[in-house]
Structure 1
Amino acid sequence: MSKINFKFHKVLSSVLLIGAITIGGISTYPTLTSSAAAPIKIMPIGDSCTEGMGDPNMGSYRTELYKHYKNAGIDFDFVGSNQKGPSTLPDRDNEGHSGWTIPQVASNVNNWLATHNPDVILLWIGGNDLLQTGKTNPTGLSNLIDQIIKQKPNIKIFVSDYYPVPDSVTKYNSEIPGVIQQKVSEGKSVYFNKMSSMNFVRSTDLSSDGLHLNVNGYIKAAKIWYDSTITVLKSMSGNSTPTNTPTNTPTNTPTNTPSSVNPVPQDVNGDRVVNMADVILIASRFNAIKEQSNYDVKCDLNNDGVINMSDVIMIASKFNYSY
């Protein structure tokens, strides 16, 4: 058997083992584990919606999200200087600050990053800019994202819009995807958490203050955060390099390199080595075509407009190659 054929069979066998092929239109991703891997540091950043106003125990979405991640087998650590939350929440660390605006977060975030060194940020901010000034602040949001990435270039940032209260927040919601789209086009690991997709019922999900979610609403919010983040966290659990796109990310997964063109095409994730991480990333896009929102051009190695086994085969020639 030739060396290339041996590599192909090695790659093909690995693809079948990881179970990342699309079946019945639903992509399933492997939960990769490593006994040597450190917990993923997750920093929830935001305003009162992150701190927990409306919830008598001040747990926000974090209480239920903690359970979701544990049930999924994710080794993680919430980090931050605020410890609001119920005693039943084992990890209450966060950077949720009631009433805070984007500029206030920007004034503090460098110190938070230096102190806690997060790998992932759950960013839910901008509502108070609107409430306090009557104007939305998408430019401030864009600058905040850039500020964070300047400090930590490889960090993953999930940016959330809001549930539809107050009514005026819908304008800000419409501006957020454009901000995220711009960051993704620049090759930054920024994702969309579409809180506005919540099946929001005012009579059952809103607290008595008429502005914040109650416990039931935060449970719904936690599920949205979970759905948006889980594929990325599962990839990070086994290897911090590959990044799988959540289903509601507005566009393709960015690479971790400043350039949008990698020197070696088979190095799909831009980590300067061609290995199983690249296979996993391609397999996560199986059956995607150009007309679909989850089509990722860098995963279509042969440029035939569809991501399938043919692209995986092309990796075999450089498997375990580094540069």
Structure 2
Amino acid sequence: MWQRCTAILTAFLLTCLGAAVPAAAEGNGGTRILPLGDSITDGFNVPGGYRITLWRALAGAGHLTDFVGSGFNGPADLPDHDHEGHSGWRIDQIDAIVTGVLRDTAPRSVLLHIGTNDIVQDHDLRGAPARLSALVDRIRAAAPNADVFVASVVPLSDPVLEARAAAYNATIPEMVRGKGSRVHFVDMHAALTTADLADGVHPNRGGYDRMAARWASALAAVPGAAGDDGAPATLPTGTRSLRVTTPGFTDRYARHQNSLGHTEHVDAGSPALLKSDATWRIVPGLAGGCHSLESRNYPGYYLRHQNSRVRISADDGTALMRADATWCARSAPTGVRLSAWNFPGSYLRHIGSELWLATPGGSAPHDTAASLVPDITWSVDAPWAP
């Protein structure tokens, strides 16, 4: 079994080390997380690996995440393909590049899973724990404000390799305890079994999903590690206007026109109709909590989402309409975000001068990660039409 695993890995390395990595990067202004490691971070067997489900888990929890790194792969429905996973690399090889990577990516959190190739290649196993400790020190020196999550390596099917993994993994918790409050141990070995492996070394899709769940739990246990998504906020009642906070568009306001939601430039010289369309009465939420935004010039009509498009509709008394027309505010650095009552983690967004309900990690054009964070933040200003 050991020889078969080594042959698989060797063939894989020959393939991957000659493969070109696309020179691409995706960013949305969210919390920068660096997936760092070897082929398991890259996603061998399942391009995107654990990052597919981790992104969705973080988005579902309302986090706005920006994966970073020089690597780029994964399925089309993964909104952010960036990572720093290098197939076949050992601890020393990651150590050789990590300072530059951290300088270029400036992550808030680092997810480190490394050591499998030291074990499979039988590369100075006695010294592997010291190399990992030195790597963590280098990460801390280059990114002192980042939280670093150090994982034990996943199980290996071959008993000889698994015995090596067990010895290596046993050293990690104590090492982590000596690195300070910003370094955290993640027991990834316990999250999987050998049934979760595709080839005795790399996880299958179910295994990667279990890795994602373990990473998500670790991030959730450290405040801010997956992003400061703001606290629940109370909006001021009465008539108000919602101003865009995206740089370069801060003279635009949310308005309705022909029943659909848009943004438009408004100033003191704007027509009275535009000023009125851009004014809302903030009232208690029709669904029974949070807030609803009633049109000033069409009383009884409320800002709602419907098939993701945002519009105004009359309150017809139905539970669906009232849920669609209820918004929950969360604080943001430049204002507030308005999350749908019935779709937590989906936000009122402007894009192309239109208002949509955007879901971080979604596949629709209005869900695109580009500019998502500033586009879902609003300033609640004085009304244009009191």
What secondary structure sits across from 2:70 in the alignment?
A: coil
What secondary structure sits across from 1:118 in the alignment?
A: coil
1:8-51 Cα distance to aligned partner (Å, 9 max, x none):
xxxxxxxxxxxxxxxxxxxxxxxxxxxxx952100000011101
What secondary structure sits across from 1:111 in the alignment?
A: helix
Shift of 1:238: 3.3
| Partners of 1:159 and 1:47 in 2: CA distance | 13
Contact 1:103 1:140 in 2 (8 A): yes
Tell me whether 1:196 sits opposite 2:189 in the alignment.
yes
Corresponding residue for residue 154 of structure 1: 145
1:192-241 Cα distance to aligned partner (Å, 9 max, x none):
111122152x34x111x22111111111111111111113255763399x
1:72-117 Cα distance to aligned partner (Å, 9 max, x none):
0011100000002111211010000011011111111111111111
Shift of 1:128: 1.1
- 1:45 equivalent among 36, 40, 53: 36
Tell me whether 1:177 sits opposite 2:173 in the alignment.
yes
Amino acid at match of 2:93: Q
Closer, same or farther: CA 64–233 of 1 in aligned 2, 3 Å? farther
Shift of 1:54: 2.5
| Partners of 1:152 and 1:198 in 2: CA distance | 28
Tell me whether 1:124 sits opposite 2:124 in the alignment.
no
Corresponding residue for residue 213 of structure 1: 203
1:118-176 Cα distance to aligned partner (Å, 9 max, x none):
11100001121122226150111111111111112111100000222131211111011
Question: TM-score, normalised on structure 1?
Answer: 0.57
| Partners of 2:87 and 2:223 in 1: CA distance | 27
Closer, same or farther: CA 95–156 of 1 in aligned 2, 3 Å? same
Contact 1:102 1:140 in 2 (8 A): yes
What secondary structure sits across from 2:155 in the alignment?
A: coil
| Partners of 2:112 and 2:218 in 1: CA distance | 12
Corresponding residue for residue 84 of structure 2: 95
| Partners of 1:210 and 1:239 in 2: CA distance | 39
Flag structure 2 segments of 5+ consecutive residues without an equivalent: 1-27, 231-386
- The RMSD of aligned alpha carbons is 2.0
Amino acid at match of 1:126: G
Amino acid at match of 1:154: N
Contact 1:162 1:169 in 2 (8 A): yes
What secondary structure sits across from 2:144 in the alignment?
A: coil
Larger Rg: 2
Identity of matched residues, %: 37
| Partners of 1:222 and 1:72 in 2: CA distance | 13
Amino acid at match of 2:137: D
- Equivalent residues in 2 for 1:279-298 (5 A)? none
- 2:218 equivalent among 222, 228, 253: 228
Amino acid at match of 1:125: I
Corresponding residue for residue 98 of structure 2: 109
What secondary structure sits across from 1:232 in the alignment?
A: coil
What secondary structure sits across from 2:32 in the alignment?
A: strand
Flag structure 1 segments of 5+ consecutive residues without an equivalent: 1-36, 241-323
- Equivalent residues in 2 for 1:1-16 (5 A)? none
- Equivalent residues in 2 for 1:13-28 (5 A)? none
